[in-house]
């Protein structure tokens, strides 16, 4: 149960931080806070397992998200 609360806290904290820095005009930092790494970190706390393939997928997704930003 403790891991579930830790995962929830990490996810909510990261998404809140992404919203705050995004509103303040820092989209790159917001992308880091709200990217796929947040889901991986929550998965690590909740399921207590991390695979090497997950890390590769997360890295690829983060690079794709930051390489092709959509105009605002």
Q: Running DSSP on this structure, what letter comes out for residue 24? A: T
Residues 6+ apart with CB under 8 A from 1: none
Is the pTM higher than 0.85? no
Per-residue pLDDT tens digits for 13-65: 888 888 898 888 887 788 777 777 677 777 777 777 666 776 677 777 767 76
Q: What is the pLDDT of residues 48-59, one digit of tens each?
A: 766 677 667 777
Domain ranges of the chain: 1-67
Distances (CA, A) of 59 to 1, 4, 47: 29, 24, 20
CB 49 within 8 A of CB 3: no
């Amino acid at each position: 149960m403790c891991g579930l609360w830790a995962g929830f806290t990490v996810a909510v904290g990261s998404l809140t931080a992404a919203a705050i820095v995004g509103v303040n005009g820092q989209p790159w930092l917001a992308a880091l806070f709200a990217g796929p790494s947040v889901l991986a970190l929550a998965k690590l706390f909740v399921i207590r397992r991390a695979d090497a393939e997950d890390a590769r997928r997360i890295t690829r997704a983060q690079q794709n998200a930051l390489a092709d930003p959509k105009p605002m």
